[in-house]
């Protein structure tokens, strides 16, 4: 199986690579459109800032490639947010794959960014196969995708938000499966087995 990780100067590429190795998969980190298009699975990781990330992928014309992928694609954290229409982070136009808007956390009395372990309430979605309702996953983010029709799991941090989404072959998780222990490994394994 060929797994490609989108290179766009995101901060968690090494930890995603290591998590995949624990599942017996060697992945390629690339911003080459042909390599991304030829992969069996594509992972769009992310720790970073929306505008600079979108600028990087637009300069290399991989925004069009990502939107046109037909194989399973997994966005993680910022990668998931970039699937949305737009982000309040520097008023950034995102990929527009999923009709959701990304907003800044402003929960009264709670620290931003949202950082640490939180319970996730999933709906019926294959990447959550074998994951119990209320399982804890690790989050680090100051922005969140509002809940909507593509939401397949929710979390609450002062306000309910999209913990995971799906639209056709595009899956996204706001939490970091590569840092979420056995439950996170199960998410990655479920994705790899789609």
Residue in 141, 168, 176, 182 annotated catalytic:
176
Q: Catalytic residue at 77?
A: yes
Please give the backbone phi and psi of residue 132, each rounded to the nearest 5 degrees, phi first: -70, 150
**How many angstroms separate the CA atoms of 86 and 98, rounded?**
10
**How many angstroms separate the CA atoms of 17 and 28, rounded?**
9
Handedness of CA 23, 27, 31, 34 (dihedral sign): negative
Question: DSSP 3-state assignment of 163?
Answer: strand
Question: DSSP 3-state assignment of 61?
Answer: coil
Residue in 77, 84, 94, 155 annotated catalytic:
77
Q: 38 is written with which tokens?
A: 């030829």
Q: 47 is written with which tokens?
A: 């720790």
Peptide bond into 113 cis (omega under 30): yes
Question: Which of 69, 67, 97 lies closest to 85, judged by CA?
Answer: 97
Q: Catalytic residue at 155?
A: no
Q: Catalytic residue at 176?
A: yes
**Active centre residues (catalytic):** 77, 176, 178
């Amino acid at each position: 199986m060929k797994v490609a990780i989108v290179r766009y100067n995101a901060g968690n590429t090494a930890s995603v690579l290591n998590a995949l190795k624990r599942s017996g998969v060697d992945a390629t980190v690339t911003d080459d459109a042909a390599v991304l298009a030829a992969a069996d699975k594509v992972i769009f990781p992310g720790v970073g800032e929306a505008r600079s990330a979108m600028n990087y992928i637009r300069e290399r014309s991989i925004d069009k490639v990502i939107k046109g992928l037909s194989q399973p694609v997994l966005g993680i954290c910022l990668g998931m947010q970039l699937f949305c229409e737009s982000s309040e982070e520097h008023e950034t136009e995102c990929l527009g794959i999923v009709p959701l808007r990304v907003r800044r956390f402003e929960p009264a009395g709670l620290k931003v960014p949202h950082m640490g372990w939180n319970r996730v309430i999933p709906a019926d979605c294959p990447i959550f196969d074998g994951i119990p309702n209320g399982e804890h996953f690790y989050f680090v983010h100051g922005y969140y995708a509002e809940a909507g029709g593509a939401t397949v799991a929710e979390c609450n941090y002062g306000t309910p938000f999209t913990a995971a989404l799906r639209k056709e072959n595009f899956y996204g998780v706001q939490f970091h499966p590569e840092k979420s222990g056995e439950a996170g490994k199960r998410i990655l394994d479920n994705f790899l087995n789609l």
